[in-house]
Copies of this chain bind each other. A is one copy, B any other.
C-alpha cells in the first residue's frame, strides 16, 4: 500500500462487492486505512460507506472532503444517509449538509428531527404509493413510467387522497393477479403500521413477530411517511441482541473497533460500581473476623458459596433479560416465571449443596462444617434465582434498561448473602467456638 501502488490497489479492490471492500477497511490498521482511502478516491462510494462499521466509518469519513461525503450521501437511500450523518461531529455535519441539494438536505434534516434510534431515522422516503381506485393494469403502466425515480421496492402502498395508508400489495400479488382486477380487490387491508417515533427495538420486534419484509411508517397525523425494509432490520436485531450481551457484562456498547479511551470510559464505570459492592462483601466478612481467626478454613470456603450464587443469579438474569427484550415476559406470566425460576434454583441448590456439603464433610472430617456450607448454598441459590428474576423485572418497571444495570445488583446480592449466610451459620452453630 505504498503511494506508487495506488493504481494497482484500485484495480484489485474495485471489482469487489461493496460489503467486502468495507470489510477490508475493518481488517486494516489506522495507517493502512488512510492509505486505502487515498488510493480509492472517488471509488470509495455510498455503497461501501453504508456497509462499514460505525467506528471505522467515522475514521474514514473524517479524512474525506465534505464534497466527497456529500456526493456519497446524495446517492444513498435516506436511511443510510442518516446513519452516516448522525454520527458526524456537528461542524462536519453542517459542512456536509451545506454541500447537498435542497431536496436531499430537507429529507435528511426531517429524518434527523426524529429521536435517535427511532423508526423515523430508519425509514427510507423512496416508495411507491397508488390510489385505491386504480386497476392492476394502471399500476403496471405507472411503474413503467416511474422507472427512474425509485430504488428497489418490495411492496406497493395503497393510500387515500390524504396520503393515509389503506393497505399494501406485495409485488408477487401484483404480478400474478389478473390485470383487470382493481387494486382494492388485491390489496391486504390488515397492515402493521409503524409510528415514526417508535423505538427501533420495538420496530424489530414487530418485524420478527409478523414476519414482515417491509412495513409502512406513518407520521404523527397518520400519513404515509416512509418504508422500512427487512434488510435494515436484520442489522438492528443483530445490533440490539449483541448490545444486550455487552451491557450485561458491563462493557457498554463498544466493539473491537471502538477507540481505546471510549472503551476505558464505558467499562471503568462498572468496575467502580463493582468495587463498591465488593466493599459491602468485605465489610460482612470483616464483621466475622473473630470466627475466621478461630477457624481459618472458613475464609477459604466462603468464596465458593458466593461464587456459585453469582453464577446461578447470572443464569437466571440472562434468561429474564432475553425474555423481557423479546416480549415473551408479560404481566400474564410473571408470577409463573418467578415460580419457575425459583423451582430451577431450588433443584440446583439441592444438587450443589449435596456435592459441596458431602465433599467438605469428608475432606475436613467435620460433618457440621459440611452441613453449614450445604445449608448456606441452598439458601443462597434460591435467593440468587429470585434476585435473577426480580432485579431485571424491577428495573424494567422503573423504566431502566435491565440489561445495563442488573448485573451489579444481582452480584451484590449473591456475594453478600453468600458470605453472610455461610459465616453467619458457622458462627451461630458454634462451629468455630
**Contact of A185 with B by CB under 8 A:** no
Contacts of A278 in B (CB 8 A): 303-304, 307-308
Establish whether residues B234 and A230, one from each chain, have CB atoms under 8 Å apart when the complex forms: yes
Q: State which of A81-89, A110-118, A157-165, A290-298 sits at the interface with chain B.
A: A290-298
Q: Which residues of B contact A106 (CB under 8 A)?
A: none
Verify B322–A242 contact, CB threshold 8 A: yes
The interface residues of chain B lying within 8 Å CB-to-CB of A304 are: 275, 278-279, 281-282
Q: Which residues from B are CB-within-8-Å of A257?
A: 328
CA distance A318 to B254 in the complex (A): 10
- The answer to whether A333 has its CB under 8 Å from any CB of chain B is yes
Q: Taking the nearest CB of chain B, how far is it from the CB of A415, in angstroms?
A: 7
Q: How far is the CA of A23 from the CA of B238 in the complex (A)?
A: 23
Closest to A152 in B: B172
The reply on A199 being an interface residue by CB < 8 A is: no
A317 to chain B: closest residue by CB: B249
Does the CB pair B318–A303 fall under 8 Å?
no
Q: In the assembly, what is the distance between CA of A153 and CA of B175, in Å?
A: 10
B237 touches A213 (CB 8 A): no
Chain B residue with the shortest CB-CB distance to A178: B144
**CB atoms of A275 and B234 under 8 A apart:** no
Q: Name the B residues within 8 Å of A241 (CB-CB).
A: 237-238, 241-242, 244-245
Question: Is the pair B234, A319 in contact by a Cβ cutoff of 8 Å?
Answer: no
Q: For the complex formed, measure the closest distance between the CB of A288 and the CB atoms of chain B, giving whole angstroms.
A: 9
Are A27 and B330 CB-contacts (below 8 A) given A19-B209, A241-B245, A289-B300? yes
Is the C-beta of A326 less than 8 angstroms from some C-beta in chain B? yes
How many Å lie between the Cα of A195 and that of B109 in the bound state? 43
Kindly state whether residue A107 has any CB partner on chain B within 8 Å: no
Decide if A301 is an interface residue (CB 8 Å cutoff).
yes
A308 and B274 contacting across the interface, CB-CB below 8 Å: yes
Instruction: Digitize A228-257: 1 where CB-to-B-CB distance is under 8 Å, 0 elsewhere.
Output: 011111110110011011101111001111
Looking at chain A, what size class is its interface with the partner chain? 35 or more
A323 CA to B255 CA, complexed, in Å:
7
Chain A: interface secondary structure? helix
Contact with B along A158-181 (1 / 0, CB 8 A): 000000000000111111111100
Q: Contacts A140-B175, A170-B152, A326-B242: A234 and B256 contacting too (C-beta < 8 A)? A: no
Does A260 sit within 8 A of B, measured CB to CB? yes
- Asked whether, in the complex, the Cβ of B281 is within 8 Å of the Cβ of A303, the reply is yes
Residue contact B231 to A348, C-beta cutoff 8 Å: no
Q: Are A307 and B274 in contact (CB under 8 A)?
A: yes
Report whether B245 and A321 are in contact in the complex, using a CB–CB cutoff of 8 Å. yes
Query: How long is the Cα–Cα vector from A347 to B177 in the complex, in angstroms?
Result: 65
Given known pairs A245-B248, A250-B314, A315-B270, the reply for A153 and B172 (CB within 8 Å) is yes
Tell yes or no: A382 within 8 A of B by CB: no
The answer to whether A245 touches B318 (Cβ under 8 A) is yes
Chain B residues near A150 (CB-CB < 8 A)? 172, 176
Q: Does A255 lie within 8 Å of B322, measured CB to CB? A: yes
Expressed in whole angstroms, the minimum distance between the Cβ of A370 and any Cβ of chain B is: 14
Contact A303–B415 (Cβ < 8 Å): yes
Which of B211, B267, B303, B336 meets A282, CB within 8 Å?
B303
A317–B272 Cα distance when bound, in Å, is 19
A92 to B: closest C-beta gap in Å: 25
Task: Kindly state the separation between the CA atoms of A179 and B179 in the bound complex, as whole angstroms.
Answer: 15
Q: Is the Cβ of A171 less than 8 Å from the Cβ of B143?
A: no
Q: A6 to nearest B CB, angstroms?
A: 21
A34-42, A61-69, A94-102, A351-359: which lies at the interface: A351-359
CB-defined contacts of A176 to chain B, threshold 8 Å: 143-144, 146-147, 150
B245 lies within 8 A of A231 (CB): no
Q: How far is the CA of A242 from the CA of B213 in the complex (A)?
A: 21
Enumerate 18 A-B pairs (CB-CB under 8 Å) in ascending A order: A27-B330, A27-B332, A146-B176, A154-B172, A175-B175, A207-B234, A211-B232, A237-B238, A245-B322, A249-B315, A255-B328, A263-B319, A263-B344, A267-B348, A268-B351, A271-B351, A274-B308, A278-B304
Supply 14 further A-B pairs (C-beta < 8 A) apart from A256-B333, A282-B303, A292-B292.
Answer: A19-B209, A27-B333, A152-B173, A153-B172, A212-B231, A241-B244, A249-B314, A250-B314, A255-B319, A256-B328, A256-B337, A283-B300, A286-B296, A307-B411
